[in-house]
Structure 1
Amino acid sequence: MLITLSDYQRIYSIAHAVLKSENSDTNRSCLFYNYCGAYILNNHYKIKAKVYSGFAAYHLGVENILGFGSIEDGTLKSSEDEFHSWIEADGWLIDFMAPEFPNIMLSKGYDSPIPRKMMQSRLINMADGPDNLKESGNFLVIPDMEVTKSLADHLESRPAFVDLVDICNRWFHKKPNKMHKSISISNGEGQLNQVSLSGIKSIVGRW
């Protein structure tokens, strides 16, 4: 693996805590989770990590397959309204939003228990089509470079988004170094909000 489960948990937890402090929908924040993760991987690990957006599908166990995008005339497609984002780095796929997948499935009406896991797998192990998403941990991602660039241009033009990613980067420390359990973030009106890692659920394994 590129990073340990413990460090993945730290990156996810920081992004999750900051999103919650901004009252964002953590089930629909793949861009922030993964831009934050890629920035940290580049800065703290010197890993060349890049965020891609497009169609994605993950097998979460039993009969649970979570898909992002659309299917038109048998073709897997994505758009700026229907997409998912993930990280590719050194031949690996990493998705820092994966611990939220159980919540997304619940929101879609699936009630079977799904464990909270990290997504970190070699790209060479990717399924070669949707019909081969047969086992837990199988995945399929199809980058759309136009969607990727359009979303990136939009986000990078938003100073608030860039500032929050930078806050996450400065908060993060790799193990065995200790990390602050909480930080203060300005709400833009001169007031400081306390952002805490307490109460964030643990991740139990890897897809």
Structure 2
Amino acid sequence: MTPPLSQQDYERLHGVMRAVLDGAGAHTTQACLFFSVVGGYLLEKYHKLNTTPLAGAALYGLGGDPPTVLTFGRFEDEVLVSDRAAFHAWIQVGDWAIDLMAPIFPENAAERGIRVPVPRRSFQRHVDTMASTLEDLEVADTFLLVPDAPLTNALVSASLRRPATADLANVCATWYRPYPQPMDEELILGSSDGAPRVMRLPTVSLEGSW
């Protein structure tokens, strides 16, 4: 099965959005909704893909001994739930889940005190490869996504109402170019204080895919 994006396009998309978020002083490790909403916009604009932003709980098996799982969401009485304080967001493209924030998982894991090595990789997985039980997540490179429709609607609507979302989305759209088109390594923007702001693409390459 061939994923919707090439590895080069995925890396460019992630790099542009990450650089723009970092340049804007955002909490990039908590910006999954931005990667979902703006990432979907860029996929539609430049790659002509039909996208749906989704939010809910997400679990990613990291392996290790004992097995470790990177969790977005929380458990209540052994039931996995999500809300505004505990959620993740990704993009649905047909039968594929695309998580453009996945290369930041090493930072997410470090914030949670996880010591299992987490490779910096892309994430495009067919939904048929998703784990069916929590026990399946004991194996590395497994995942489980549990979208919450009401939560998705509330979060996406709130994001689209923020002027900053549109502003940063326009910056991303100005900068991003699909591979193999030329794309600048940096973008210089003006700022309210008159000093130019230089945004640079990350220099760290991805180590393959999930």
TM-score (norm 2): 0.92
* Change beyond 3 A, Cα 1:206–1:39: same
1:60 & 1:173 partners in 2: Cα distance? 32
1:203 & 1:195 partners in 2: Cα distance? 19
Structure 1, 84-93 or 165-174: larger mean CA deviation: 165-174
The answer on 1:92 being equivalent to 2:96 is yes
* Change beyond 3 A, Cα 1:156–1:189: farther
Identical-residue share of aligned pairs (%)? 32
Deviating beyond 6 angstroms after TM superposition, the runs of 4 or more aligned structure 1 residues are: none
User: Aligned to 1:26, which of 9, 25, 28?
Assistant: 28
Secondary structure at the aligned position of 2:63 is classed as: coil
2:34 & 2:49 partners in 1: Cα distance? 18
Tell whether the 8 Å contact from 1:61 to 1:114 is kept in structure 2 after alignment: no
Q: Which runs of 5+ in 2 are unaligned?
A: none
Secondary structure at the aligned position of 1:204 is classed as: coil
Secondary structure at the aligned position of 2:60 is classed as: strand
Q: Which runs of 5+ in 1 are unaligned?
A: none
What corresponds to 1:203 in structure 2?
206
1:188 & 1:144 partners in 2: Cα distance? 38
CA positional deviation for 1:191: 4.4
User: Aligned to 1:61, which of 50, 60, 63?
Assistant: 63
Secondary structure at the aligned position of 1:60 is classed as: strand
The answer on 1:155 being equivalent to 2:159 is yes
2:116 & 2:57 partners in 1: Cα distance? 24
* Change beyond 3 A, Cα 1:196–1:126: same
Q: How many residues align?
A: 206
TM-score (norm 1): 0.94
What corresponds to 1:7 in structure 2?
9
The answer on 1:52 being equivalent to 2:50 is no
Secondary structure at the aligned position of 1:86 is classed as: strand
Post-superposition CA distance 1:63-107 (Å, at most 9, x none)? 231011111122211101110000110210000110111111122
Q: Over the residues paired in the alignment, what is the CA RMSD in angstroms? A: 1.4
**AA at the equivalent of 2:172:** C
